[in-house]
Amino acid sequence: MKRRDFIKQAGVGAVAAGAAAAPAIAKAGTKIKWKMVTTWPKNFPVLGTGANELAELITKMTDGRIKIKVYGAGELIPAFEVFDAVSRGTAEMGHGSAYYWKGKIEEAQFFSTVPFGMNGQEMTAWLYYGGGMELWQETYEPFGIIPAAAGNTLVQMAGWFNREINSTKDLEGLKMRIPGLGGEVLKRAGGTPVNLPGGELFTSLKTGAIDATEWVGPYNDLAFGLHKAAKYYYYPGWHEPGTTLEALINKKAYEDLAADLKVIVKNACKVVNQDMSLEFAAKNNQALDTLVNKHKVDVRKLPDDVLARLKVLSLEVVSELAAKNSAAKKIHDSYSKFYKQIAAWNEISEKIYFNVR
């Protein structure tokens, strides 16, 4: 009797254990479907295709355990509602850049780009080896979002203009599409910054709704046909010397993943972060050649006095942002410390090499 009771109890225990284990087994074999919303036009070169690449890479690396459907700006939600959509869980991922959310988190702009600040290589180094990533995660934590670097535009162009910029006076009254801290700098120089999604730039510039626009660089600008809507193409991109593009990941969706899937998602972002930068580096020069030699674009350097004035105003804007709250100060202190250190090294490495080669 005792033996039969023991076997009976053992059988009941095994069934119970099996029942308890079943959800975990089912979960491990479940095909996970995510949505990714972006601030970019669908399939737009590098920006939109980079988001596609991120989704495809995650699917391939997980052997199909995670499948992600990508939505371009306006397909599921408007371009500038990506952050809120990921925060709410409407979409599990997003792709954009942190300065688009300045109305919600002003200090987030430090994780995108700072006028006259670090370039793409320096920004990525700060994020991964200078404490920037930890601060970024801390900043998005209250919103239930995990950020990851997922691309960098490198140094951009100053933009397309339908009026000549010969002095600081020419900035007064200039209505220009320019986001982030750069927009605030233009405002202090007497201009009017406008924040528009990429899909509206050509029409706004062509119709005169704006006098000028910045977008990215030759490769993306050529794809939009901006040379057909403006007379002058100015450089350098003082406002965006190395803009970090970000993947936004809903924290709950991420934490529900198995450990190996979490590693894959994070590392896929790292791969795309590098790949997008390399694509910009490779294709901007080809596109510039097309713009100049085929389309006869008038490429000009901004006058030194204009750049000097914009730099003074940039320092003011950044300093004021850093003083707004303790979080902004903490991020700014980290950014500034790393900037000074890496700039000192680049003075005798990258900069001198470019000058002598």
Q: Return the pLDDT at 30.
A: 74
Q: Decide: helix, strand or coil at residue 349.
A: coil
Q: Return the pLDDT at 49.
A: 97
Q: CB-based contacts of 134: which residues, under 8 Å, 6+ apart?
A: none
Provide the whole-model pTM. Answer: 0.89
Instruction: Going residue by residue through the chain, which has 357 residues, state the pLDDT in tens, using 9 for 90 and above.
Output: 343 443 344 444 433 333 333 333 334 567 999 999 999 999 999 999 999 999 999 999 999 999 999 999 999 999 999 999 999 999 999 999 999 999 999 999 999 999 999 999 999 999 999 999 999 999 999 999 999 999 999 999 999 999 999 999 999 999 999 999 999 999 999 999 999 999 999 999 999 999 999 999 999 999 999 999 999 999 999 999 999 999 999 999 999 999 999 999 999 999 999 999 999 999 999 999 999 999 999 999 999 999 999 999 999 999 999 999 999 999 999 999 999 999 999 999 999 999 999
Q: Are 155 and 117 in contact (CB under 8 A)?
A: no
CATH architecture of the domain formed by 32-153+242-281: 3-Layer(aba) Sandwich (3.40)
Q: Return the pLDDT at 22.
A: 35
Task: Give per-residue burial for 218-236: e unless 16+ CB within 10 Å, then b.
Answer: bbbbbbbebbebbebbbbe
Task: Give per-residue burial for 92-114: e unless 16+ CB within 10 Å, then b.
Answer: bbbbbbbbbbbeebbbbbbbbbb
Q: Return the pLDDT at 29.
A: 61
Task: Dig out the tokens for 227 from the structure.
Answer: 């040379």
Please give the distance of CA 339 from its chain centroid, rounded to a whole number.
19
Question: Tell me, what amino acid is at 72?
Answer: G
Q: Are 309 and 189 in contact (CB under 8 A)?
A: yes
In angstroms, rounded to a whole number, what is the distance separating the alpha carbons of residues 95 and 86?
Answer: 10
Domain ranges across the chain: 32-153+242-281
- Helices in the chain by DSSP H: which ranges? 2-29, 47-61, 82-88, 120-129, 132-140, 180-188, 201-207, 218-224, 251-255, 259-293, 304-322, 326-347, 350-356
| Three-class secondary structure assignment of 65-130 | CEEEEEECCCCCCCHHHHHHHHHHCCCCEEEECHHHHCCCCHHHHHHCCCCCCCCHHHHHHHHHHC
- Looking at residue 193, what DSSP letter applies? E
